[in-house]
Structure 1
Amino acid sequence: MAQETKTVFSRIIDRELPGEFVYEDDQVVAIRDIRPAAPVHVLVIPRKPIPSLAHLGEEDVELAGRLLLVAKKVAEQEGLAERGYRVVINVGPDGGQTVPHLHLHVLGGRRFTEAGLRA
């Protein structure tokens, strides 16, 4: 492992800590967030311990696509596809990232109205 200390996500992936898995394959897992910011809040995490989106390399292009596809699958599985949902990646401290392991947040189950984030 590239990082000296395992992240909390690596420890959950390795079953050293508990996590509520909603999806799992050989590259990616999805777990429920323990502090949900929406009625549905699932984290999509690569098994590969990439610290953040800023550390994603050309060799990770397929994995990046897989993360997005799994986010879509999770949204469908959780019943969010019809009404809509949000996919968020926090990068670095100023971006709100608190765990140095790349992950996507899939949020839904309510209407998002925060100003400046509509397009």
Structure 2
Amino acid sequence: MKLTTLTPPLQALHDSSDDILLVSLISSDGMPVVHIGEGLDYDEQSALFFEMKKACDRVLDGLRLGHSEEIFIRCREGCICIWPVGDMVFACMARPSVNSQRMQMLAWKTVSALGALV
């Protein structure tokens, strides 16, 4: 897997809307593989996104509902969606003004493209 093949789908998602701030692919150890956009500390953000995914999976497993296919969090200052991609995690962070349905659709398309590459 080459980073040059993973970057175009992420770049396309980031370029699709001014509301999308950060698009990232995170390895199984919580480190950023590819990140595009605004970020305070890519290593810290990646670790937090990875831990959110793990925590949600623990909750779902405890409830016997399996593992997460998508995590969507909205707050006053923005929103985040997190998806599994193989043994990695895809994360997208956007402004609160983003159309959440459009964001989820674009993220799903990106995750599908990444899934075909990994």
TM over 0.5: no
Q: Which has the higher helix share?
A: 2
From the CA coordinates, give the structure whose radius of gyration is larger.
1
Report the TM-score, using the length of structure 1 for normalisation.
0.28
Larger strand percent? 2
